[in-house]
Amino acid sequence: MTERNLKVVLGSRPEGKPTVDNFRVEEGPLPVAAEGQVLVRNQWLSIDPYMRGRMMDIRTYAEPVALGDVMVGDTAGVVVASRHPDFAPGDPVAAYLGWQRFGVAEGGALRRVDPRIPLSVSLGAAGMPGVTAWVGLLDLCQPKAGETVVVSAASGGVGSVAGQLARIAGCRVVGIAGGADKCRHVTEALGFDACLDYRAEDFRQQLKAAVPKGIDCIFDNVGGPVLEALIGRINPFARVTLCGAISEVDNPSPTGLRRLLPLIVNRVKLQGFIVGDHLERWPVAIADLSGHVAAGRIRYHETLAEGLEAAPQALLDLLAGRSLGKQLVRIP
Ligand SMILES: NC(=O)c1ccc[n+]([C@@H]2O[C@H](COP(=O)([O-])OP(=O)(O)OC[C@H]3O[C@@H](n4cnc5c(N)ncnc54)[C@H](OP(=O)(O)O)[C@@H]3O)[C@@H](O)[C@H]2O)c1
């Protein structure tokens, strides 16, 4: 029997919170590689918060997914057929082929995976989330040894790497995460100096105690009340990397920053950024991150969903904070 493609398409746009019914699983023929292209069998799909935005009919920094189209996403897999001179069947590659088992990519859009790391890690610590942490922390926050760095969503794909890079840079690193289990993971497995549960009633008092010398760098993934609390402990000439604002997703009236005076009197630099604007930094970032992972200096945890049919629920789990580390889908 000839093999068929399996894909997950966007069936409808969410009204309010997304549900699994917004997606549809479909079968179809295998795509065919044209001259210069490569056919890849995906083994891993990365699930990321930006996918929530792509479900909406709103243009932000990227186009929305059209109804009936395959959901977008980073993938890692193995070359099946190649009409590009740089790739041969069996090569492990990372690409942006979306929620499907087979996909065709231009050869120039494929990334060869470093053989020192597992294929799945090319979607996590040594993939887009890792590069986001690397650019946002090292290029934008520019931490110096001895400084205090605070990372929110610290147990997640981006935050876990940002905090470990700050530790490697010789900083005191404090993570913020939801719940005792995530915090234990952040200190015990990832080696942060401290981790605070932002849902604790005395969160602000705990924060004060955890950053006795104030905060020199905030790597913020969540926005809202957490960022506001961190700004209250900011040091002169601190840097704030605004990486994400996941607390605003599904929140019809998000609470923003109401404390601007500490930013002004401390001459703080806030920088929003999108990792896709820094393509020239990807090769050096991925090489550096792969080296750290291979040497065990950066550790990672993966939450795995089995099969493409499980991808919609995996996205809902990620957004609700039910996954730990990098959320992936294994594609059999
Ligand atoms: N700027 C860029 O180019 C770029 C690139 C990639 C990712 N990002 C952003 O980086 C952030 C992290 O991405 P990721 O892939 O590493 O995801 P992740 O951290 O693995 O997963 C998202 C986490 O957000 C936390 N969260 C959810 N709702 C929250 C709320 N209301 N308040 C506080 N925390 C909440 C949850 O952790 P807890 O259980 O700890 O609450 C959840 O595990 C996201 O905001 C994403 O949009 C930005």
Q: How far is the CA of 140 from the centre of ligand 1 (A)?
A: 18
Which residues is 92 bridged to in the sheet?
78
Nearest CA to ligand 1 atom 32: 247
Q: Give the Cα separation of 94 and 319 in Å (integer).
A: 24
Which residues' Cβ are closer than 6 Å to ligand 1? Answer: 48-50, 129, 132, 153, 155-159, 177-178, 182, 221-222, 226, 243-244, 246-247, 273-275, 318, 321, 323
Pick the CATH number of 5-124+300-330 from 1.20.272.10, 3.40.640.10, 3.30.1490.20, 3.90.180.10: 3.90.180.10
What pLDDT score was predicted for residue 259? 85
pLDDT of residue 303: 98
CA distance 113 to 120: 10
Protein residue closest via CA to atom 28 of ligand 1: 247
Ligand 1 center–CA 172 separation, angstroms: 22
The residue whose CA is least distant from atom 38 of ligand 1 is: 178
The Cα–Cα gap between 300 and 124 comes to 8
Nearest-atom index, ligand 1, CA of 324: 43
**Domain coordinates in residue numbering, the chain:** 5-124+300-330, 128-276
Nearest CA to ligand 1 atom 20: 156
Distance between CA atoms of 329 and 311, rounded to whole angstroms? 6
The CATH number of 128-276 is: 3.40.50.720
Closest ligand 1 atom to the C-alpha of 176? 40
Mean pLDDT of each 10-residue bin along the chain, 332 residues long: 89 96 97 97 98 90 93 98 97 98 97 95 98 98 98 98 98 98 98 98 98 98 96 97 94 83 96 96 97 98 98 98 98 96
Q: Which atom, in ligand 1's list, is nearest to the CA of 272?
A: 1
> Cα(246) to centroid of ligand 1, in Å?
5
Task: Give the nearest ligand 1 atom to 326 CA.
Answer: 20
Of 50, 132, 221, the residue with max ligand 1 atoms within 8 A of its CB, to mutate for a pocket test, comes to 221
- Ligand 1 centre to CA of 153 (Å) is 5
pLDDT, position 59: 78
pLDDT given at position 290: 97
CA distances from residue 8 to 21, 44, 94, 97, 303 in whole angstroms, order as listed: 11, 14, 19, 12, 20
Ligand 1 midpoint to CA 220 (Å): 9
Angle made by CA atoms 34, 35, 38, in degrees to the nearest 5: 65
Atom 42 in ligand 1: which residue has the minimum CA distance? 321
| 48-60 tens-digit pLDDT | 999 999 999 987 7
Backbone angles phi, psi at 324, to 5 degrees: -115, 130
Farthest CA pair distance, the chain:
70
What confidence score (pLDDT) does residue 1 get?
Answer: 55
What distance in angstroms lies between residue 114's CA and the mean position of ligand 1's atoms? 26
Q: What is the pLDDT of residue 181?
A: 97
Cα of 320 to ligand 1 centre, how many Å? 10
